């Protein structure tokens, strides 16, 4: 995988035509397919469960990038693995024993990611940065698609990039929320190398071309 990694969010797809939407991503040069799992407790919304995720996995030729917006994510890690997860990212704010959860994800053979909400400073994960594979910064408040990008994310992205470069350069710096063609270039300039795109891809007249445009940044 080269250039900026793109992980389209299936949450923004047409769920009445889910198989064809997954096949559309298969035909693109996206690097991952982003799977948002919400529980209605950690975030004020419910997305879909593991039977749907498993159905997506059956049709997807892209590796799956799971984002768990749930309380007690450690309970569901095996379900993620069984549903095809290559990456499992959990929220700093939703884990009482984050280091243990990271190790559990790695024990399953998956890449371990940590997610920070917009209000959570990058410095909170300084003690575990060497243990993770992905740092995902939320650029909207989690729970709903289609929200407006929070501009402060650019400064936070630069801070995260500096920390990653200093302590664990292999970590992927992923941004999720309101990412589109207008702000993606700035995110990459500030240090992001993986972008989640939902409405900007699935709401596009030509999703495949939009993914290519994002990936070229």
Alpha helices for 73-206 (secondary structure H): 77-82, 98-107, 153-167, 181-189, 199-202
Cα Rg, the chain, nearest whole Å: 16
Q: Taking a C-beta distance cutoff of 8 angstroms, is the pair 29, 211 a contact?
A: yes
Q: Taking a C-beta distance cutoff of 8 angstroms, is the pair 128, 114 a contact?
A: yes
Sign of the CA dihedral running 23, 28, 29, 32 = negative
CA pair distance 44, 34, nearest whole angstrom: 19
Residue by residue, DSSP assigns 42-70 as: SSS-B---HHHHHHHHHH--SPEEEEEES
Whether 176 sits among the annotated catalytic residues: the reply is yes
Catalytic residue (choose from 31, 36, 39, 65): 36
Catalytic residue (choose from 31, 39, 65, 176): 176
Whether 206 sits among the annotated catalytic residues: the reply is no
**Cα separation of the two ends of the chain:** 14
Active site residues: 36, 176
């Amino acid at each position: 995988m080269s250039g900026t990694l793109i992980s389209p969010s299936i949450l923004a797809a047409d769920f009445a035509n889910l198989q064809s939407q997954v096949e559309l991503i298969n035909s693109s040069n996206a690097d991952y397919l982003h799977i948002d799992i919400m529980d209605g407790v950690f975030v004020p919304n419910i997305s879909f469960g593991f039977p749907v995720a498993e159905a997506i996995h059956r049709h997807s030729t892209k590796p799956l990038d799971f984002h768990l917006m749930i309380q007690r994510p450690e309970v569901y890690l095996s379900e993620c693995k069984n549903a095809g997860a290559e990456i499992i990212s959990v929220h700093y704010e939703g884990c009482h024993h984050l280091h243990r959860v990271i190790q559990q994800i790695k024990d399953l053979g998956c890449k371990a990611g940590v997610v920070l909400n917009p209000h959570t400073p990058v410095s909170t994960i300084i003690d575990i940065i060497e243990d993770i594979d992905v740092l995902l910064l939320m650029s909207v408040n989690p729970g709903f698609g289609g929200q407006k990008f929070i501009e402060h994310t650019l400064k936070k992205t630069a801070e995260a990039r500096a920390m990653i470069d200093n302590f664990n350069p292999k970590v992927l710096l992923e941004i999720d929320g309101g990412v589109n063609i207008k702000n993606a270039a700035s995110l990459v300039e500030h240090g992001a190398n993986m972008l989640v795109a939902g409405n900007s891809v699935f709401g596009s007249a030509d999703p495949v071309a939009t993914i290519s445009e994002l990936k070229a940044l």
